[in-house]
Amino acid sequence: QVQLQESGPGLVKSSGSLSLTCAVSDYAIVSGCFWGWVRQPPGRGLEWIGTIYQDGSRYYNPSLKSRVTTSVDRSKNQFSLRLSFVTPADTAVYYCAKTMTAAGGHLGTFDYWGQGALVTVSS
């Protein structure tokens, strides 16, 4: 059973950067699927942030693309998210997730999710 666990600071100051890491267990990160990030502001819907492949290929939400960076660390079997120039509007639960396959149309089809990490941006 694939397990994902987000970790990182729960409080970030405005104009700073948000950094999260997702540790993957019981599944090799190089096993042929994408790895993604989704966020959910309190009481609101889901927003796709971006997806990364094991070879470093990156795919981002156009509305966040200028502020987002993702990376994969194959040696640690984990992947990471960095969101720059944050504002209180970036306050959300951030989820990391695994896609079903490596097909392009599935880069946002997530079959396993982490429990989520609440990140609050203070003004």
Partner 1 sequence: QSALTQPASVSGSLGQSITISCTGTSSDVGGYNYVSWYQQHPGKAPKLLVYDVNKWPSGVSNRFSGSKSGNTASLTISGLQADDEADYFCSSYAGSDTFIFGGGTQLTVL
* 3-class SS letters over the chain: CCEEEEECCCEEECCCCEEEEEEEECCCCCCCCCEEEEEECCCCCCEEEEEECCCCCEEECCCCCCCEEEEEECCCCEEEEEECCCCHHHCEEEEEEEECCCCHHHCCCEEEECCCEEEEEEC
User: Which stretches of the chain bind partner 1, using CB under 8 A?
Assistant: 38, 44-48, 51, 59-63, 95, 100, 104-111, 113-116
Toward partner 1, which CB reaches closer, 15 or 101? 101
16 vs 109 by CB, closer to partner 1: 109
Please report how close the Cβ of residue 31 comes to partner 1 at its closest, in angstroms: 17
| Least spacing, CB of residue 123 vs partner 1, in Å | 25
Least CB distance to partner 1 at residue 82 (A): 19
Tell me whether residue 61 or residue 69 sits nearer to partner 1 (CB atom).
61
55/123 with CB nearer partner 1? 55
